[in-house]
């Protein structure tokens, strides 16, 4: 299968619809600092008819390799003198290698290999033989690992680990390949398929507690009206403008040993949260991916937990508030952020194992710290120190993970063991720092 390198810096022929007519032009895909753009020449007449605010859909052929450019925007143009053509730079969001199609591509299945997922699997597919002898000449043995599979309303999801080998006269090497594969019940457009497999990757991001990069994606595209005799075709989908992500090489907080036997339940619970409360999963995901630091991180963590509480914990929070506040009979108690924190800590305390008489003061401290930064009332609140902010972020990060693990059904012992990992080993120490009173004036 062709790679992105096979179509770069080579003149090709391209076409696209402009004002419902097909415009054709030569062009070159060029890579600049990792981002790929299309350099081409087009007549002034075609250029003037381009809708600068709507994406174009381009198809073409580069050195015999069919390609399709998706979500293409005009980036810049240069016109010289009296020429009747203009040099243009187009910016495609995605590049489909292996199919040239003038209509939207339909996909029957999609797969991706993310090397970092090797750290999620509890045991590898290849293991060394213990004793090498004439009777037992094998160096490696294949363990025939069982796939992690489930069905959902969209199709069949399979997660597994295999390997590839490379050899030459000077040596042989084996590389483990973790694969996520989604086979759909009904064909869907290519970016809808990408969104479905991204939901799987995002779940595993929470198991890793760090971002996972998207590599090249393999799709099986279906027959189109312009290619009536091509039943299906394996293509590579290249995502342009991808970030360079450094990931730690260490086992995930949650590995396959914790979820492989109950993956159907865990996946369907995650899918429900992911689709019913989209912005909760988005908030959680961006925090885990380190999109913010220090004060902003603390505020984002607090907001994510508050949004989750408002969506899923209304009755439980009201019960906590009623126990804390004096309220006339028949009236609802006022609900404050400390009530929401307290309810969350009570919910996941089987994994945190905090003394119950400390939960209320920790919740109040976190709420007052948040209020200091949102209201910035120096007369009412004590400003948290750098170390106290570090402690709050550390604690709330694990709280956020524990909420998700709890909701999707990760076993209790696996959640507890993740708290004992090196990155959270100061959790209990940091909790003690959060029993401080950050209020300068007593509450009324």
The least confident of 127-136, 151-160, 405-414 is 127-136
The least confident of 189-203, 251-265, 378-392, 427-441 is 427-441
**Per-residue confidence (pLDDT) for residue 137, from 0 to 100:** 77
Considering 75-89, 109-123, 316-330, 376-390, the range whose residues carry the highest mean pLDDT is 109-123
**Per-residue confidence (pLDDT) for residue 443, from 0 to 100:** 46
Backbone angles phi, psi at 49, to 5 degrees: -95, -5
Counting Cβ atoms within 10 Å, is residue 222 exposed (0-12), middle (13-18) or buried (19+)?
middle
Average pLDDT, the chain: 90
Angstrom distance (rounded) from CA 217 to CA 389: 40
The least confident of 40-49, 108-117, 122-131, 361-370 is 122-131
Q: What percent of the chain has pLDDT over 70?
A: 96
Q: What is the DSSP letter of 409?
A: T
**pTM for the predicted model, two decimal places:** 0.90
**Per-residue confidence (pLDDT) for residue 442, from 0 to 100:** 47
**Per-residue confidence (pLDDT) for residue 129, from 0 to 100:** 78
At 316 the three-state DSSP class reads: helix
| Residue pointed to by tokens 């174009």 | 56
Question: For residues 42 and 86, is the Cβ–Cβ distance under 8 A?
Answer: yes
Angstrom distance (rounded) from CA 203 to CA 284: 11
**Per-residue confidence (pLDDT) for residue 223, from 0 to 100:** 60
Backbone angles phi, psi at 247, to 5 degrees: -120, 140
**Per-residue confidence (pLDDT) for residue 242, from 0 to 100:** 83
- Please give the helix or strand (H or E) that residue 272 lies within, else none: helix 263-276
Question: For residues 67 and 7, is the Cβ–Cβ distance under 8 A?
Answer: yes
Q: How confident is the model at residue 24 (pLDDT cuts 50, 70, 90)?
A: very high
Could you report the per-residue pLDDT of 334-357, keeping only the tens digit for each? 999 999 999 999 999 999 999 999
198-to-3, 153, 408 alpha-carbon distances in Å: 21, 16, 17
Angstrom distance (rounded) from CA 332 to CA 322: 8
**Per-residue confidence (pLDDT) for residue 328, from 0 to 100:** 67
Largest CA distance in the chain: 86
Q: What is the 3-state secondary structure (H, E, C) of 162-211?
A: EEEEEEECCEEEEEEEEEEEEEEEEEEEHHHHHHHHHHHHHHHHHHHCCC
**Bridge partners, residue 78, by sequence:** 87
Q: How confident is the model at residue 270 (pLDDT cuts 50, 70, 90)?
A: very high
Please choose, from the candidates 102, 93, 114, 104, the residue with its C-alpha nearest in 3D space to the C-alpha of residue 190. Answer: 104
Angstrom distance (rounded) from CA 56 to CA 58: 6
**Per-residue confidence (pLDDT) for residue 225, from 0 to 100:** 54
**Bridge partners, residue 98, by sequence:** none
Q: Is the pLDDT of residue 231 over 70?
A: no
Q: How confident is the model at residue 365 (pLDDT cuts 50, 70, 90)?
A: very high
**Per-residue confidence (pLDDT) for residue 440, from 0 to 100:** 56
At 22 the three-state DSSP class reads: strand
Angstrom distance (rounded) from CA 262 to CA 414: 13
Q: Is the pLDDT of residue 438 over 80?
A: no
Question: For residues 89 and 75, is the Cβ–Cβ distance under 8 A?
Answer: yes
Question: For residues 212 and 204, is the Cβ–Cβ distance under 8 A?
Answer: yes
Q: Is the pLDDT of residue 288 over 60?
A: yes
150-to-45, 69, 215, 268, 404 alpha-carbon distances in Å: 53, 33, 23, 9, 20
**Six-digit token string for 368:** 């007052």
Residues 6+ apart with CB under 8 A from 444: none
**Bridge partners, residue 166, by sequence:** 173
Q: What is the mean pLDDT of residues 106-113?
A: 95
**Per-residue confidence (pLDDT) for residue 444, from 0 to 100:** 37
Q: Is the pLDDT of residue 294 over 70?
A: yes
Distance from the Cα of residue 15 to its chain's centroid: 33
Q: Is the pLDDT of residue 85 over 50?
A: yes
């Amino acid at each position: 299968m062709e790679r992105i390198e096979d179509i770069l810096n080579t003149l090709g022929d391209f076409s696209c619809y402009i004002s419902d007519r097909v415009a054709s032009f030569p062009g070159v895909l060029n890579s600049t600092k990792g981002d790929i753009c299309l350099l081409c020449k087009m007549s002034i007449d075609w250029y003037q008819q381009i809708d600068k605010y709507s994406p174009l859909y381009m198809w073409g052929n580069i050195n015999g390799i069919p390609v399709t450019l998706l979500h293409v925007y005009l980036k810049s143009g240069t016109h010289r003198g009296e020429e009747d053509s203009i040099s243009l730079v187009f910016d495609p969001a995605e590049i489909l290698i292996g199919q040239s199609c003038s209509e939207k591509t339909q996909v029957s299945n999609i797969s991706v290999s993310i090397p970092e997922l090797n750290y999620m699997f509890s045991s590898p597919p290849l293991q060394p033989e213990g004793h090498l002898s004439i009777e037992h000449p094998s160096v490696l043995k294949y363990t025939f690992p069982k796939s992690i599979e489930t069905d959902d309303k969209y199709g069949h999801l399979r997660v597994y680990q295999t390997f590839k080998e490379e050899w030459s006269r000077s040596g042989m090497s084996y590389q483990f390949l973790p694969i996520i594969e989604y086979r759909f019940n009904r064909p869907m457009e290519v970016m809808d398929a990408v969104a479905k497999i991204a939901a799987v990757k995002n779940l595993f991001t929470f198991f890793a507690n760090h971002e996972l990069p998207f590599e090249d994606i393999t799709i099986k595209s279906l027959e189109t009206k312009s290619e009536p005799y091509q039943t299906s075709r394996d293509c590579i989908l290249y995502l342009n403008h991808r970030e360079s992500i450094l990931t730690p090489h260490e086992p995930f907080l949650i590995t396959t040993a914790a979820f492989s036997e109950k993956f159907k339940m865990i996946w369907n619970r995650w899918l429900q949260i992911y689709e019913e409360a989209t912005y909760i999963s988005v908030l959680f995901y961006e925090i885990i991916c380190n999109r913010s630091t220090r004060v902003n991180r603390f505020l984002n963590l607090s907001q994510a937990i508050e949004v989750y509480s408002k969506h899923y914990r209304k009755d439980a929070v009201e019960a906590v508030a009623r126990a804390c506040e004096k309220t006339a009979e028949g009236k609802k108690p006022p609900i404050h952020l400390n009530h929401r924190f307290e309810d969350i800590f009570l919910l996941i305390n089987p994994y945190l194992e905090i003394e119950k008489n400390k939960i209320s003061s920790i919740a109040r401290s976190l709420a007052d710290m948040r209020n200091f930064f949102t209201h910035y009332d120096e007369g009412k609140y004590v400003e948290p120190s750098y170390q106290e902010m570090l402690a709050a972020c550390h604690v709330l990060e694990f709280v956020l993970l524990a909420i998700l693990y709890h909701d999707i059904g990760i076993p209790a012992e696996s959640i507890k063991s993740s708290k004992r990992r090196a990155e959270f080993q100061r959790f209990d120490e940091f909790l003690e720092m959060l029993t401080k009173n950050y209020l300068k004036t007593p509450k009324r």
